Amino acid sequence: MTFYEFIIFKFRNIGPALSSITDVYFDDGPLLGIDSITNGPGTSFSNPATPANLPAGNNAIPPFVTTNNFSADSNSGPPGVMVNGVNPNEYVMIVFNLINGKMLNDVLADLTDGDLRTGIHVQGYASGGSESFVNGTPIPEPATMLLRY
């Protein structure tokens, strides 16, 4: 049996539509804390995110509440939030330590049954709008689109 002390979440923007993942949030599960953030080419993220909770996360069922600052966002300094975010064909990786005794299978099971949820805030659409998603599902808003990550 293999035990993992950490897990890596990799968020990619597979494009092709103009958009930028600017915030990443985690809601509960077997995660202990963020160990590190690995920025891919063109991205610059740090912990925690501002705002502290996923925009429109209260519209999710059940409401999405970020756990213990388990979040990261693109840095607002030059060249800007959307440029530093995950744009088409870019990625960011967030490494978490796991609660003692928890393993990869616990994380996968919790993602499947909803005990662990991930949320992303995406900005920079051609329309000028933004959207929030929980585990790839849009949070109910007037206009939505499907995003895989």
Q: Report the SS3 class of residue 40.
A: coil
Order of strands across the sheet with 137-138?
45-46, 71-74, 20-27, 117-123, 131-134, 137-138
Above pLDDT 90, what percent of the chain? Answer: 75
Query: For residue range 6-35, what is the model confidence (pLDDT) as tens digits?
Result: 999 999 999 788 999 999 999 999 999 999
Which range has the worst mean pLDDT, 76-80, 97-101, 104-108, 119-123? 76-80
* Cα distance between residue 141 and residue 131, in whole Å: 8
Q: How many residues does the chain have?
A: 149
pLDDT surpasses 80 at 4: no
Give pTM, 2 decimals.
0.88
Query: For residue range 27-71, what is the model confidence (pLDDT) as tens digits?
Result: 999 999 999 999 999 999 999 999 999 999 999 999 999 999 999
